[in-house]
Amino acid sequence: MVHTRRGRSTRIRVAALVAAIAAGGFGLAGCSGGNGSNTIVLYNGQHPQLTQALVTAFEAKTGITVRVRTDDGIVLADQILQEGASSPADVYLAENSPELMLLQERHFLSPLPTTVLDQVPAADSSPDGDWVGVALRVCALVYNPSMISASQLPTSVLDLAQPQWKGKLALAPTDSDFPPQVGAVIATYGKQAAQNWLQGLKANASLYQDEESTVAAVDHGHAAVGIINQYYWYRLRLEQGAANTHSKLYFFPNRDVGAIENVGGAAVLASSHHKSEAQQFLSFIVSTQGQQILSQGDDYEYPVRPDVAANPELVPLAQVNPAVLNVVSLGDDLQSAALIQQVGLT
């Protein structure tokens, strides 16, 4: 049974990504959609509140208008693939690097100038210079202390596939934040180990539509633990208040892949007719001002700029000590999505 809760946007089932790529129904053909000379179109896969704050500040600073279309990052990546060079989008903003890597591999992105790329650490951007890192988040486990003690928590995310976790786990396998977690397991332990792990999760977990629903289920005592990205727990606590929050956040130790660091980023489309304005937007969101907007809001992601402090409510990244894989190793989500579909978690 799949449980649902109102989330930030419509989620795509990962099976749709596999089907879209297999169909091959896209290509660089046709003409780019037109915008005004001082207007750019942003396909936004980030949280709308954060993006709106960035857009408002950018428009005030530059006079450039930004038209925003918000949806799940995978939905928008698929849309770009389908639209090809006819896409009206100038900028693509994604929560996770695999969507960006997929578009890069298929030559849908435009190389960025060093004035943009050099503002953030090179490890947090495309190795080919086709997209720039904007924000970081870490995979984690949310748990309910009334159902399980901290001493009983697993030391590895792989342990959650063991029989003793049957009926205790909440999981949102069709949320677009889950395939990068699978990609981290593939990159670290191999495809077969990842498939075995997913089969164990399927046997043990109650399935939810998205990670907002997962964290709420654990907080309400419907499951003992749930796999999420850390910011979902902070946003739930903000929504209902610390006194009414009954769950806690746990980061897997020893750089286990259950605590993988994920990079969100932005790119200019190769088909854009407004590359200069689009590059100005990217330069702004990775600037000190843009990164401070990110860190001072209620998005609860980590800024990529090392000279901008994270939201003080967050556990410092140095204390979390997450697992870090380069974006090439983490991949483009296609193998992850295929495995999730293959084991029947879609």
For the record, the structure tokens of 303 come out as 């800024």
DSSP three-state, residue 264: strand
* Structural domain range at position 187: 137-260+334-342
DSSP three-state, residue 324: coil
pLDDT above 70 (res 29): no
pLDDT reported for residue 250: 98
Tell whether 115 and 190 lie within a shared domain.
no
pLDDT above 80 (res 115): yes
pLDDT reported for residue 32: 38
Question: Mean pLDDT across the stretch 114-119?
Answer: 97
Q: What is the CATH number of the domain that holds 7?
A: 3.40.190.10
pLDDT band at 14 (very low <50, low <70, confident <90, very high): low
Question: Mean pLDDT across the stretch 338-346?
Answer: 94
Question: Mean pLDDT across the stretch 231-236?
Answer: 97
Tell whether 98 and 18 lie within a shared domain.
yes
Tell whether 160 and 199 lie within a shared domain.
yes
Task: Calculate what percentage of the chain has a pLDDT beyond 90.
Answer: 89
d(C-alpha 214, C-alpha 209), whole Å:
8
pLDDT reported for residue 19: 55
Q: Are 3 and 213 in contact (CB under 8 A)?
A: yes
pLDDT reported for residue 6: 32
pLDDT above 60 (res 33): no
For the record, the structure tokens of 285 come out as 């969101």
For the record, the structure tokens of 29 come out as 């053909």
pLDDT band at 346 (very low <50, low <70, confident <90, very high): confident
pLDDT above 50 (res 166): yes
pLDDT above 70 (res 60): yes
Tell whether 296 and 234 lie within a shared domain.
no
pLDDT band at 16 (very low <50, low <70, confident <90, very high): low
Tell whether 211 and 338 lie within a shared domain.
yes
d(C-alpha 214, C-alpha 34), whole Å:
41
Is residue 327 domain-resident?
no
How many other β-carbons are positioned within 10 Å of the β-carbon of residue 328? 13
Question: Mean pLDDT across the stretch 154-177?
Answer: 97
